[in-house]
Amino acid sequence: MVLTLFQGTQSEESRLVDGGAVSGEVAVDMAVRAWLVVTSRDLSAGAIAARLSLSPDNIDSAGEPIKPGGGSRIESVWKRELSPLDSRHFGTEGLSAAIEALGIELAGEFRSLRDSGATCLLDIVQEVVGEFDSASTGFRLDASAVRWLDAGGFSVSIDQYFYE
């Protein structure tokens, strides 16, 4: 699932054109996507999924070729994309709500994996296309989401890409 969020200065005359919000001189198309990622040298992706009781969106197994001629994976990767629960803006409220909705018990399962040598990561990617006002292109995690990530032993990775 690709979630595209529209930001920018909008008025009653605003309209969507080619997937972006348009209002006067400002046209911004912003996408925020996020994944929970667990990597392990000792556990298979299937074993990670079984311990979490949560199906992954993507798995890679240790020993699989990375790409033709590129060697083999040294660790298994379990990956699950977070999705918005409702119409809240994913970058400002929806990401936190999606994390909190997983429940504190699941955070404990992630912590258990981390304590056994796995790495737990919240991977956030933000892409902004067009002219942008830096005040309208961010995202945030509220205190409850940060507590959940801490309880799960997560690190956070943020990649931001700005295109004209």
Which pLDDT belongs to residue 78?
Answer: 96
Instruction: Give the pLDDT score at 117.
Output: 96
Tokens of 33: 């996507």
Q: When comparing pLDDT for 36 and 87, which is higher?
A: 36
pTM for this predicted structure:
0.75
Q: Which of 98, 113, 92, 95 is nearest to 37 (CA)?
A: 113
Secondary structure of residue 28 in the 3-state scheme: strand
Sequence ranges of the domains in the chain: 32-124+138-158
* pLDDT tens-digit series, residues 20-55: 443 344 445 667 889 999 999 999 999 999 999 999
- Quickly tell me which residue has 């909190």 as its tokens: 100
End-to-end CA distance of the chain: 24
